[in-house]
Structure 1
Amino acid sequence: MGKMKDKDDLFESEEMKILEEARETQRHEGFISDLFLGEASFDYVRPFPEQSSEDKQKADEFIERLRKFLVEKVDPNAIDRDGEILDDVIQGLKDLGVFGLKIPREYGGHGFSQSNYRRIFQMVGSRCANIVALIAPPNSIGASVPILKFGTEEQKNKYLPQLAKGKISAFGLTENEAGSDPSRIKAMAQRVYNEKGEHIGYKLNGRKVWITGSVKDDGVPLGEYVVVVAKTKDDPKMSKKKLGLSTLFISSDLVGYTTPHRTRFGGLKAIYNGVLEFDNIFVPKENLIGPEGRGFKVADQSLAVGRLTIVSSCVGGLKQSLQIARWWCKKRVQWRQSIGRHEATGSRLVKIAYLTMVTDALAQYCAKLVDDHKDVRIPAMSAKVIATNHLWEALDNLMQIRAGRGYENYYSLKNRGEIAVGVERMWRDSRVNSIFEGENTLLSLASGREGTDDYKQKASALMEGDSKARLSAGLWMSKQLSKSFKRRLGSSHETFIYNQSKLLTYQLLRVGEKYRMTGLQKKQLVVGQLVARVYNLFLMALVLSYAEARNDKPLAKELADYFCLTVREEMTGAKWTTDWLLNGSHGRVDELAKRLMEGEAKWLEEGIISALEQEGVEI
């Protein structure tokens, strides 16, 4: 007799079915997925994958033109103060082709690689988060990505050239009651038939909220197009069939399309985000993107790479933070010496430096995975979590370093004669990054779901499979258990990563035994802790490889080594020991901070528009 399903079990529900059907089912490949299986596969990160000089040259001229425009036309502090981006700035960005960065050249776009796209958003992210919020959605999750991935040739030929020329598009998924749970979407697209009984389109009704890139002002659309995820059903006269979630491409000038409210937030004061309402809008059948009933799959898979936009912009913010911290730690004198020479403040500077280096490595690595057509599913969602957390942590430390001047706004500093940098603006703007495009806790849990897929499948086979399937699954579990006891001798970081990967396997087997692997998703705190271990080990391996590839760069090796030491101390609880008090990583802070203040790691700040230089400060 088969296993009876609990009708109240969320993980056997229709809600979970939507998420599971959206998953790409091919087996994961890469360093992170192998860690979940107890393998430290260093070949995935060594040698560190670098962007070729040939590819880099393809975007150099564009980046310089964009840099000049951002310096001359974009004032991030005025945009923050006024809550608006000037129309001539938006038009200038359109003229530069900024809304078609990855649209292939045959459709009129720039056709940039992910690595060049990363460089562009790193620079924009260092200058103005509101500009990132304007140009990121059309490039990362607006109409161009779903059309490129799932659209017909007719859709590509008709719409991509328009989008490349500056037609702005948004993606409408979220509703008041539908955030992470797409089953709660209420927007409804009902099939429409002609007199001959032919399906010709849909009648769309519903309401979407927090749609970035959609609303210029109350009642005024920003862009021309929106991709909407809605429930679809047949005309009741034809059948009562429910057709699942579907993705529809609609124009903002259609009768029945309104933008009643522009939303305002604590940060990103000039984000064009708001409410969309659809009242009996007719959408032609030709505007269906992807198969009917596969709308959430279109959304989820379009977001997979799109999340790397946030990662790249975070690197720009981190590099800006590092430069400001380095400058102020050296310039500000208290108790007869630069504040960076005081260990507590120096440790904050060092932390900002290694967070910047680790996140830069992560952004470059993921971009190259995309360019090389390698599996980026787990790395991309992991990178979004890590990068947004790192930027917030760095800015929080920068706020403490700048103290009152950090919390004081740009114009107040300026008006009383200070060298003004908008740390509090950067701090406010960065907070939402952990919510955008997949809330961080949910993405961490999703990483765990993907990483433990092999365990889940074997556990299901043990519980529900036939005798052959149970035998095969049992042997696999036995091999994993045997593997989990293996250890290597030595104190290197690589040995630590190897041994911890085996410990991770043991822990996964134990928690799977206790909570049942198929039900592990319910234990979110447990999964979160396991994923945090995976992230730490991955970042250690990645930053060591990144530093090896930059052995000619001052402080690269030392910062990587310090980061790995702090991770090890955290994971092993070493900070609570007498040995740490006497011999811990803190002993390296003074020298690292001194060298950072002397500018030895200025190479880590490359690729940004310096806020200090804009204020006349020589860095």
Structure 2
Amino acid sequence: MTVERVLPTPEAYDLIELATELADRELAGRAAEFEARAEFPREVVRTLGRAGLLGLPFAESDGGAGQPYEVYLQVLEVLASRWLAVAEAVSVHTLSCYPVAEYGTDRQRKLLPEMLGGELLGAYCLSEPQGGSDAAALTTRAVRDGDDYVVTGTKAWITHAAVADFYNVFCRTGGPGTRGISCLFVPAGTAGVLAQPAERTMGLRSSPVAQLVFDQARVPAEHLVGAAGSGFGVAMSALAAGRLGIAACAVGLAQAALDHAVGYARQREQFGRPIIDLQGLGFLLADMATQVSAARAVTLAAARLRDAGRAYAVEAAKAKLFATDVAMKVTVDAVQVLGGYGYVADHPVERYLREAKVLQIVEGTNQIQRVVISRALAR
């Protein structure tokens, strides 16, 4: 189905057209084979970077494209509709570039053109084996030793572990609580940084996720991003924007599931007519289409608040919560529309269903989004 978009500039329409062309040529036909091999498509991501799609929401002076978030998210949606793992890679990379772009020193910022151009791929290291939702309880420690920090601890569920070129590592440089947390920019080749074997995941198998162990890793003190003790604020600020990225990925995935289900229902005949003409199936598809449109609308509404410089974290939580729940429901319904055919790998909807689940977990579970929203209401 063609998605009708209202974009702010003619350039934005050109970007959507470019993203669609690249997604059709570079992504759509490769997803199944890369997922089957659990292989990360590094060159595909690099191609997107060279086309300018990895730096869309960042300043042109830093090597980005200076685009509004509402445009960036719609590009992300297009990518997700062809291959979720690639769109998630773009979203995670954007999240990983954010600390240096917003809080980095002049020396750190010199790396931004390579980061935003996709030559340097990033990872965001916040979660730990015993601390996912409770990020303020992290225990990875960085102890100052002369001109270095010595980092010890373990990070968990790190997207791009082992394939990233740099890690933004949130670690404890001070006492307990949020004020003891700092952010360090850690090159992947640093001695003592050890990526563990990739997790065996339900979906997104071409997106490597693993633990990252820091065994007395020495990181120059000049790699501190922002002030010492400011890391929790950096992390939460980045996550608010990252949640919009995941919401856009969810919209793209749900759109792909809807499109495939509609195409199948138009061709599949039972009782002498296409099954889309049967009211039970037609109404199910109508509900799916409405939910996808609503998810897109709530996501873009939050993005426009961000673009306007207004508070948007709570609206981002709503968008992430709603859009990922929609993706889960729409992919389940898409499998139902296809019946037995939906349960086999001959059609992509079974993969879409497996992929949708993780979107309800990453960047803060949907239970955490409800905490964010309910606390805002209580205030």
Counterpart among 140, 160, 169 of residue 112 in structure 2: 160
Equivalent residue number for residue 203 of structure 2: 267
1:87 offset after TM fit, Å? Answer: 4.5
1:260 offset after TM fit, Å? Answer: 2.5
Q: Secondary structure at the match of 1:340?
A: helix
- In the alignment, is residue 145 of structure 1 matched against residue 98 of structure 2? yes
- In the alignment, is residue 186 of structure 1 matched against residue 166 of structure 2? no
Counterpart among 328, 342, 352 of residue 288 in structure 2: 352
1:273 offset after TM fit, Å? Answer: 1.6
- The answer to whether the 8 Å contact 1:228/1:247 transfers is yes
Q: Deviations over 1:427-459 (max 9, x none)?
A: 111110000100001111221012211xxxxxx
d(CA) in 2 for partners of 1:210, 1:86: 19
- In the alignment, is residue 229 of structure 1 matched against residue 170 of structure 2? yes
1:371-390 → structure 2 map (5 Å cutoff): 371-390=307-326
1:134 offset after TM fit, Å? Answer: 2.0
If each structure's helix is expressed as a fraction of its own residues, which one has the higher value?
Answer: 1
Equivalent residue number for residue 154 of structure 2: 207
Larger of the two Rg values belongs to structure: 1
1:300-315 → structure 2 map (5 Å cutoff): 300-315=236-251
Equivalent residue number for residue 428 of structure 1: 354
Counterpart among 67, 71, 76 of residue 31 in structure 2: 76
Counterpart among 231, 238, 244 of residue 180 in structure 2: 244
- What runs of 5+ residues in structure 1 fail to find an aligned partner? 1-48, 194-199, 216-221, 235-239, 411-420, 454-619
Q: Deviations over 1:3-50 (max 9, x none)?
A: xxxxxxxxxxxxxxxxxxxxxxxxxxxxxxxxxxxxxxxxxxxxxx96
- What runs of 5+ residues in structure 2 fail to find an aligned partner? none
- Counterpart AA for 2:25: E
- In the alignment, is residue 452 of structure 1 matched against residue 371 of structure 2? no
1:101 offset after TM fit, Å? Answer: 2.3
Equivalent residue number for residue 92 of structure 1: 47
d(CA) in 1 for partners of 2:36, 2:290: 32
1:409 offset after TM fit, Å? Answer: 0.5
Counterpart among 259, 262, 265 of residue 323 in structure 1: 259
- RMSD (Å) for aligned C-alpha atoms: 2.2
CA distance 1:379–1:398, change in 2 (3 Å): same
CA distance 1:343–1:210, change in 2 (3 Å): same
Counterpart among 58, 65, 70 of residue 110 in structure 1: 65
1:125 offset after TM fit, Å? Answer: 0.9
d(CA) in 2 for partners of 1:401, 1:243: 51
d(CA) in 2 for partners of 1:348, 1:247: 47
Q: Secondary structure at the match of 2:150?
A: strand
- Counterpart AA for 1:402: L
CA distance 1:329–1:260, change in 2 (3 Å): closer
d(CA) in 1 for partners of 2:34, 2:137: 36
After TM superposition, the score normalised by the length of structure 1 is 0.57
d(CA) in 2 for partners of 1:397, 1:233: 49
d(CA) in 2 for partners of 1:65, 1:174: 35
d(CA) in 1 for partners of 2:58, 2:369: 27
- The answer to whether the 8 Å contact 1:232/1:243 transfers is no
d(CA) in 1 for partners of 2:239, 2:348: 30
After TM superposition, the score normalised by the length of structure 2 is 0.91
- Counterpart AA for 2:138: I
d(CA) in 2 for partners of 1:205, 1:131: 31
- The answer to whether the 8 Å contact 2:299/2:316 transfers is no
- The answer to whether the 8 Å contact 1:133/1:212 transfers is no
d(CA) in 1 for partners of 2:140, 2:41: 33
- The answer to whether the 8 Å contact 2:314/2:373 transfers is yes
1:90 offset after TM fit, Å? Answer: 3.5
Q: Deviations over 1:487-536 (max 9, x none)?
A: xxxxxxxxxxxxxxxxxxxxxxxxxxxxxxxxxxxxxxxxxxxxxxxxxx
1:394 offset after TM fit, Å? Answer: 0.9
d(CA) in 2 for partners of 1:403, 1:152: 55
- Counterpart AA for 2:108: Q
d(CA) in 1 for partners of 2:114, 2:45: 16
Of 327-336 and 311-320, more deviation after overlay is shown by 327-336
- Counterpart AA for 1:287: H
Q: Secondary structure at the match of 2:197?
A: strand
- The answer to whether the 8 Å contact 1:191/1:233 transfers is no
Q: Deviations over 1:528-547 (max 9, x none)?
A: xxxxxxxxxxxxxxxxxxxx
d(CA) in 1 for partners of 2:209, 2:138: 19
- The answer to whether the 8 Å contact 1:190/1:204 transfers is yes
